[in-house]
Structure 1
Amino acid sequence: MSLYVKDNEVNRMAERLAMLQKISKTEAVRRALRHELEREQQMPSLVERGLAFAHSLRAKAGPAAGRTADKEFIDSLYGEP
């Protein structure tokens, strides 16, 4: 199966990387794609990032976290007796 790159900038980058590493353009593209796939796979998923964020919020909330939102609590937010 062939891959045709029709973008001049992409072609120049592939040629430059191939020249710097003394490899073929095909190998340069292969390595670049492999590198990006590995980098992407190491990134935490959206769910993992969301959980980490929720845990950090919970840690910042302190001992008042989870307090019941009764009338007394709501009034305390507005400075009412």
Structure 2
Amino acid sequence: MPLFIKDASVDELAAELAHLLSVNKTEAVRLALRQALDREKATESLAEQAVRFCRDLRARSHPERGQPADKAFFDELNGGL
């Protein structure tokens, strides 16, 4: 399926990249799109980043060193209510 680019600035960018890479404009566009897709696929989603953060935090934590978070602990935090 053909792709027609009717934007002069995009055509200029494709021509500049083609010149730098010593390829034609079609190959320059193909290489640029492949590189952009590979970069996006390699980027972690926000959910993946959050999961990794939580796992790293848990791995560094030492719950056995802290105070127990029982009713007495929370009552003390709230001024003995």
**TM (normalized to structure 1)?**
0.71
Q: Deviations over 1:4-63 (max 9, x none)?
A: 122332221111101111111100000001111222222234443221011133245431
Match of 2:3 in 1: 3
Indicate how the Cα distance of structure 1 residues 28 and 68 shifts in structure 2: closer, same or farther if over 3 A, else same. same
Match of 2:73 in 1: 73
Match of 1:50 in 2: 50
Distance 1:15 1:8 in 2: 10
Distance 2:62 2:10 in 1: 51
Indicate how the Cα distance of structure 1 residues 26 and 74 shifts in structure 2: closer, same or farther if over 3 A, else same. same
Match of 2:31 in 1: 31
Structure 1: gaps spanning 5 or more residues: none
Backbone CA RMSD of aligned residues: 2.9
- The count of aligned residue pairs is 80
Indicate how the Cα distance of structure 1 residues 68 and 22 shifts in structure 2: closer, same or farther if over 3 A, else same. same
**% of aligned pairs identical?**
46
Indicate how the Cα distance of structure 1 residues 61 and 17 shifts in structure 2: closer, same or farther if over 3 A, else same. same
Distance 1:28 1:8 in 2: 16
Structure 2: gaps spanning 5 or more residues: none
